[in-house]
Amino acid sequence: MGHDHEHDNHLDPMAARVKALETILVEKGLVEAAAIDAIIETYENKVGPRNGARVVAKAWSDPDFAAWLANDATAAIASLGFTGRQGEHMRAVFNTPEQHHLVVCTLCSCYPWSVLGLPPVWYKSPPYRSRAVIDPRGVLAEFGLELPADTQIRVWDSTAELRYLVVPMRPAGTGHLEEEALADLVTRDSMIGTGLAIAAGEAA
């Protein structure tokens, strides 16, 4: 279109507020610009649910690792190179036919970042945060997950200090699969408890 004067840059109000915060904090020496870039790089590219899927696949394949994960999840997960932030501890909870685990943060958005990356939008939404505790079966139904009536659902409320990783049940008919192939069956939602691992043969 044209040769009007719309050649200048545009900064929307939210972006400008964040620039203002950053300017102050960097000018006062409270945070370093390089540290901010490193954090963004990590969360955009390096951490995500593939980390957690590797933890789960190893637990399925290696009983010693599973036992370690059950006793000291922080250390077992760190042994694979996935370390959380200082002061954050991990606990792994294992689904069984009798008990299904579901993770929520009723306060805000505490999440096992080192193994799952950043939480999906619904995890941070008020309805999920309140209803997961009051009506977990109803929440699971909305995710398309209908559990047997005699399966108990246990809800874990994350905190700033303690985060949970759900270890879903290993799908039937996967005895022949290597860890790497098993990891492909482990979805993000299955590690939050709003889904199950993908049945063998259904993986994309």
Q: Which of 60, 68, 88, 164 binds other proteins (CB under 8 A)?
A: 88
Quick check: 36 binds other proteins (CB under 8 A)?
A: yes
- Give the interface segment with other proteins, choosing from 55-63, 73-81, 157-165, 174-182 (CB under 8 A): 157-165
We find the least distance from the C-beta atom of residue 43 to other proteins, in angstroms, to be 6
Q: Catalytic: which of 61, 79, 110, 125?
A: 110
Host H or E run for residue 137? helix 136-142
CA distance 82 to 73: 11
Residue of the chain from 100, 166, 188, 190 that contacts other proteins (CB under 8 A): 188
- Is 190 catalytic? The answer is no
Whether 130 sits among the annotated catalytic residues: the reply is: no
**How far apart (Å, rounded) are the C-alpha atoms in residues 138 and 132?**
8
Q: Which of the ranges 38-46, 54-62, 137-145, 174-182 carries the binding residues for other proteins, by CB under 8 A?
A: 38-46
9 binds other proteins (CB under 8 A): yes
Binding of other proteins by 31 (CB under 8 A): yes
The distance of closest approach from Cβ of residue 64 to other proteins in the complex, given in angstroms and rounded to an integer, is: 29
Count of C-beta atoms within a 10 Å radius of residue 155: 17
Give per-residue burial for 101-117: e unless 16+ CB within 10 Å, then b: bbbbbeeeebbbbbbbb
- 110: annotated active-site residue: yes
Q: At what angle do helices 49-61 and 63-71 cross, to 10 degrees?
A: 120
User: Which one among 65, 159, 179, 200 touches other proteins, defined by CB under 8 A?
Assistant: 159
Q: Would you count residue 46 as binding other proteins (CB under 8 A)?
A: no
Cα separation values, 195 from 84, 140, 158, 199, Å: 24, 8, 18, 12
Among 72, 78, 124, 147, binds other proteins (CB under 8 A): 124
Tell me how far CA of residue 103 lies from CA of 79, 119, 189, 191, in angstroms. Answer: 23, 11, 10, 9
**How many chain residues are in contact with other proteins, going by CB under 8 A?**
59
- Taking the C-alpha atoms of residue 103 and residue 186, their distance in angstroms, rounded to an integer, is 16
DSSP-assigned beta bridge partners for residue 117: none
**Could you list the active site residues?**
105, 108-110
* Interface ranges with other proteins (CB under 8 A): 7-25, 28, 30-32, 35-37, 39-40, 43-44, 48-49, 85-88, 107-110, 117-118, 120-130, 159-161, 187-188, 204
